[in-house]
Each structure stands twice: as C-alpha cells, then as structure tokens.
Amino acid sequence: MKVYLLLCFESLSELEDFVRRLRLVSSCSCTSSGGLCARVLCDETLRKLGGLLVRIARDHGLKLEVFEVCSGISDRYCADGVTYLPVKDDLDVLKYARELGAILVTGDRKLAEGAKTLGIPVIFKPPSAAPSKEVYAIEVFEEIKKFLKR
C-alpha cells in the first residue's frame, strides 16, 4: 500500500524549518515506538531530570519523548531514553523547544517568560519548591499530565 502526503509551504524557509525539525526528531533512536503522548525538553535547572521523567512515565504507562539540553557537550546523543542536545545559551533552548514542539520544563523565570511570549508551552517550577530532585520530577510529571488533558 502506498501512502502519499502533500505538504504546502508558504516559503522556502518554512520548508527548510520543517526538514530541520524532521531530521532532529528522526535522528534519535530513543524515540518511543507507538503512541507518543508528549515531547518534553528539560533545561539545565536540574541535571538528569530527563532520566527521572522517563522512569516515572514508564511506571505510569505514559510514553514521553524526553530531551535535555546540556552546555557541556558538542554533539547530540541518546542515553537511557533521553536525547541530550548541545546548547550555548537560552536562545538555543528556545530554538529546540520550538523545533521539537516540546513542553519546556524550566526553573528559570526569564526563560519561562520568554518561551510563553513565543507561544511555547512551559512548565515553570523553581527547584527550591521541592524537597528533592525526585519529588521535583514527580511534580513536573503531574504538570505534564495536566498539559496532556488540555
């Protein structure tokens, strides 16, 4: 069976943007198979938050595609169900969130406000609001579930 897909773009830059997003998402072997429920991008507020979110989601039967930005790397890589993306500054974080169509998880108020201004869905939660990284991850997961119900 052949399936044809017709896409229409207003400009060449719109087409290039689409291809760039497609490459970004398809280049990772961590992509959940079947029934992707949400795509999440974690900033550097809490390191390794992505891994905790993957574990919590798996325990609750929800599939998340989790990306985590890291300023200490130069190339994208996947580990433990999380895709790590290289960034230099907040502009890169916003670019990835927009390209991926992901929910941005951050504890940085300025980054959260900037993302909201650009129409990017944001979960803003300062790390000091939770007693531990694990509790923080559980609370963020609950917020992600609320986003999915909207």
Task: Give one DSSP letter per residue of 21-48, joined into a string.
Answer: HHHHHHT-TTPPSS---EEEEE-TTSTT
Q: Give the whole-number percent of the chain exceeding pLDDT 90.
A: 61
Total length of the chain = 150
User: CATH for 33-149, among 3.40.50, 3.90.105, 3.30.420, 3.30.70?
Assistant: 3.40.50
For residue 28, which amino acid is it? C
From CA 91, how far away is CA 39, in angstroms rounded? 19
From CA 51, how far away is CA 84, in angstroms rounded? 11
pLDDT in tens, 99-133: 999 999 999 999 999 999 999 999 999 999 899 99
pLDDT in tens, 29-39: 444 455 457 89
